[in-house]
């Protein structure tokens, strides 16, 4: 009998297991695929490894303006793949060591049934536990018209690609589509993005969408909006003809499908209360409709982000071990690693809220780094000027957004953010400039 059984070892599962074991619980983790889950093996980590590798092309160009001439002799795609594999393997091995050091039992198997107090595997094995956390995540949704094989890839199978394609078509202009368009275009591939909507990055502000679009166009990425792929014909092992619903015909080496993810909840249809989209219905503390069964991450959240899953898993463990927990998921930062990257958090509404901004071009360190393309926008309540949200487009934004997260959690006003000393010269000075602009007092703003 275990104190806690966790189904899934991704970002929602493995941190919760480590925290629970550290607090004295007897823990078992059931994983049917690879330790680390989707995020570590086919998602966040390998994608960012690829993006970091491809960004070296831009850095080499920036070096020239600093008086340092670097020549990119060639791009060894297999070397990029090996770099990614080394990173992933090292991190997976690290999680394994953490499990061993805390006596967490890792069970390989596919869970087919969950009930209060036990889970049953595909081979019939039954594992008993006082509490169960479901953290099975999500996976790419496949299209019947063009399944993932041959020259058609998902954001998961794309890591099986062993050569740099000359031409790439990406279906979907969301987060994954933008990141892979950035990666392939930085390596010199001819990239075309086909998007069903009339703009990129649905769910983000039109300003962010426009800025990212301009950045990708500077890298010669082509776009087809208000359209989708309707037919794929394989011409050879590395050549396909893609026809869109509107009649566009595109020759390409590969098609990368980055639209649609489905939650791994099929095995729970007759066990738990599920929403129409397959999401497990939970309360404010991540409890499911079954006693002592909890769900975290993609399977239970509208916000399908790794850090949200980790936070929920850790907070459930807090509840199990201390009887107290505050699972607040209304302040979830989002980050997209375009080039430059952007980050957002909180409420973004140009009509309802007052907003101020600063350009990266106003700060010295931005010029030094060749990062003048960037902007910070701060949003506040119109009357009280209490901080409501922010969006940052530019180098360093994934780290800078945490200052806004802290401000939101601490219920700070925009004025509070100006009442502190910012280190100089740093990119975070752009936040200070944007906050000062709220009061028409930005030092470096040209009027």
Arithmetic mean of pLDDT, 18-27 = 98
Condensed to tens digits (0 to 9), the pLDDT of residues 157-189 reads 999 999 999 999 999 999 999 999 999 999 999
Q: How many CA atoms lie within 13 A of 152 on its CB side?
A: 20
**Closest C-alpha to 268, from 393, 395, 396, 113:** 113
Tracing tokens 């999680």 back to the chain, one arrives at 95
Q: How many CA atoms lie within 13 A of 372 on its CB side?
A: 7
Residue 49 near residue 129 (C-beta atoms within 8 A): no
Condensed to tens digits (0 to 9), the pLDDT of residues 153-165 reads 999 999 999 999 9
Condensed to tens digits (0 to 9), the pLDDT of residues 362-383 reads 899 999 998 989 999 999 999 9
Which CATH class, in words, describes the domain spanning 2-139+262-322? Answer: alpha beta
Tracing tokens 């983000």 back to the chain, one arrives at 204
Q: Which CATH superfamily is domain 152-259 in?
A: FAD/NAD(P)-binding domain (3.50.50.60)
Say whether pLDDT at 327 is over 90.
no
Say whether pLDDT at 141 is over 90.
no
What is the structure's pLDDT at 446?
79
**Closest C-alpha to 342, from 220, 191, 175:** 175
Q: Which CATH superfamily is domain 340-437 in?
A: FAD/NAD-linked reductase, C-terminal dimerisation domain (3.30.390.30)
Tell the burial category of 134 from Cβ atoms under 10 Å away from its Cβ (0-12, 13-18, 19+): buried
Distance CA 273, CA 275 (A): 7
Distance CA 421, CA 419 (A): 7
In the chain, CATH 3.50.50.60 covers 2-139+262-322, 152-259
* Averaged pLDDT of the chain: 95
* Element (DSSP H or E) covering residue 433: helix 429-437
Query: How far is the first Cα of the chain from the last one, in angstroms, to the nearest whole number?
Result: 69
Residue 346 near residue 379 (C-beta atoms within 8 A): yes
Strands (E), 87-166: 105-108, 111-115, 118-121, 126-134, 138-140, 152-154
Say whether pLDDT at 447 is over 80.
no
**% of the chain at pLDDT higher than 90:** 90
In the chain, CATH 3.30.390.30 covers 340-437
């Amino acid at each position: 009998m275990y104190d806690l059984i966790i189904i899934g070892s991704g970002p929602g599962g493995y941190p919760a297991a480590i925290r629970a074991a550290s607090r004295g619980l007897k823990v078992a983790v059931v994983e049917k695929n690879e330790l680390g889950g989707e995020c570590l093996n086919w998602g966040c980590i390998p994608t960012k490894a690829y993006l970091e590798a491809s960004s070296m092309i831009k850095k080499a160009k920036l070096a020239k303006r600093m008086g340092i001439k670097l020549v990119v002799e060639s791009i060894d795609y297999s070397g990029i793949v090996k770099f990614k594999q080394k990173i992933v393997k090292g991190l997976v091995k690290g999680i394994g060591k953490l499990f061993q050091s805390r006596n967490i039992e890792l069970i390989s198997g596919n869970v087919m049934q969950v009930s209060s107090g036990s889970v049953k595997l595909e081979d019939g094995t039954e594992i008993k536990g006082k509490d169960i956390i479901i953290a099975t995540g999500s996976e790419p949704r496949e299209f019947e018209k063009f399944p993932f094989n041959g020259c058609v890839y998902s954001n998961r199978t794309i890591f099986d690609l062993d050569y740099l394609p000359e031409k790439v078509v990406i279906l979907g202009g969301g987060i994954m589509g933008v990141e892979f368009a950035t990666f392939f275009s930085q390596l010199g591939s001819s990239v075309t993005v086909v998007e069903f909507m009339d703009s990129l990055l649905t769910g983000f502000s039109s300003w962010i969408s426009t800025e990212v679009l301009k950045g990708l166009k500077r890298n010669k990425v082509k776009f087809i909006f208000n359209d989708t792929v309707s037919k794929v014909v394989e011409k050879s092992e590395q050549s396909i003809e893609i026809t869109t619903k509107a009649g566009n015909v595109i020759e390409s080496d590969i098609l990368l499908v980055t639209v649609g993810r489905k939650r791994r909840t099929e095995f729970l249809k007759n066990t738990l209360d599920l929403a129409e989209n397959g999401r497990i219905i939970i309360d404010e503390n991540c409890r499911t409709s079954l006693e002592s069964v909890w769900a975290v991450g993609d399977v239970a959240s509208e916000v399908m982000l790794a850090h949200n899953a980790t936070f929920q898993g850790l907070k459930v463990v807090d509840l199990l071990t201390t009887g107290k927990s505050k699972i607040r998921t209304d302040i979830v930062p989002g980050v997209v690693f375009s080039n430059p990257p952007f980050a957002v958090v909180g409420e973004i509404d140009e009509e309802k809220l007052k907003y101020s901004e600063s350009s990266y071009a106003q700060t010295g360190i931005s010029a030094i780094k060749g990062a003048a393309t960037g902007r910070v926008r701060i949003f506040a309540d119109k009357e009280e000027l209490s901080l409501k949200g922010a969006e940052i487009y530019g180098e360093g934004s994934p780290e800078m957004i945490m200052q806004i997260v802290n401000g939101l959690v601490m219920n700070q006003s925009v004025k509070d953010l100006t009442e502190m000393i910012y280190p100089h010269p740093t990119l975070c000075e752009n936040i200070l400039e944007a906050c000062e602009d709220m009061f028409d007092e930005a030092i470096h703003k040209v009027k």
